[in-house]
Amino acid sequence: MVNACLFFYGKSGSGKSFAGDLLAELLGWQLYHADQDITPEMQTALANQQPFTNAMRDQFFYNVGEKIQQLNSQHHRLIVTQGAYKQKHRDYLKSKLPQLYLVQVNCPDEQIMQRIEQRKSGISLASAKALLADFEASVQGDYVLENGGSRQQLIASMVHMAEQMPELFSTEELATLTQAAKVAQG
């Protein structure tokens, strides 16, 4: 089995972490939430509710690329979650990591705002609203995972995604996701 990495990206509050956690739980893949490695400068910017500079983002994605290479050499199935708002950073990761599959996690903006309001920590509502305009949507060739809010709908979207990637998901993994979708339906 070849090494592969699913990279879930999308707007803050779209459900990237939830989707990554769920898929890792269902299939036993290694999971890396890249936000855990934001740089000290980015942490300061967040604390002061200031935007990230291009230099901050460039350094962060260089670091993330290195970390993905390290983790993927140890685990042949890896899920990464991170906003990756700019296409140039996703392009950089793809050029550095040929085993990377980009997956945009979609969720309606109204639902994103509700989720962020309910959070006890993380990005502020004001910062999330400001970042909405900063997000560069997927380009043709990226996979899309719809996350309308229910576990059932998300798993059904994962089944659809896995069906589009037969080179990545084994027959057994697809069967596991399909069974999980049936269980989630009740």
DSSP 36-97: GG--HHHHHHHHTT-PPPHHHHHHHHHHHHHHHHHHHHH-SEEEEE----SHHHHHHHHHH-
The pTM (predicted TM-score) of the whole model is 0.92
Place of tokens 């300061």: 44
3 state SS for 107-176: CCHHHHHHHHHHCCCCCCHHHHHHHHCCCCCCCCCCEEEECCCCHHHHHHHHHHHHHHCCCCCCHHHHHH
On the 0-12 / 13-18 / 19+ scale of CB atoms within 10 A, 133 is exposed
Given this model, what pLDDT does residue 34 score? 97
What is the spatial distance between Cα 19 and Cα 105, in angstroms, rounded to a whole number? 8
CATH number at residue 57: 3.40.50.300
Average pLDDT over residues 114-118: 81
Where residue 103 falls among pLDDT bands split at 50, 70, 90? Answer: very high
Q: What percent of the chain has pLDDT over 90?
A: 66
Quick one: tokens of 185? 């339906």
Average pLDDT over residues 95-107: 94
Q: How many domains does the chain have?
A: 1
Given this model, what pLDDT does residue 59 score? 96
The range of the structural domain enclosing residue 111 comes to 4-185
Q: Indicate the average pLDDT of the chain.
A: 90
- pLDDT higher than 60, residue 10: yes
Where residue 1 falls among pLDDT bands split at 50, 70, 90? Answer: low
Given this model, what pLDDT does residue 46 score? 80
Specify the range with the lowest mean pLDDT, choosing from 8-17, 41-50, 171-180: 41-50
pLDDT 10s digits, 62-93:
999 999 999 999 999 999 999 999 999 999 99
Where residue 2 falls among pLDDT bands split at 50, 70, 90? Answer: low
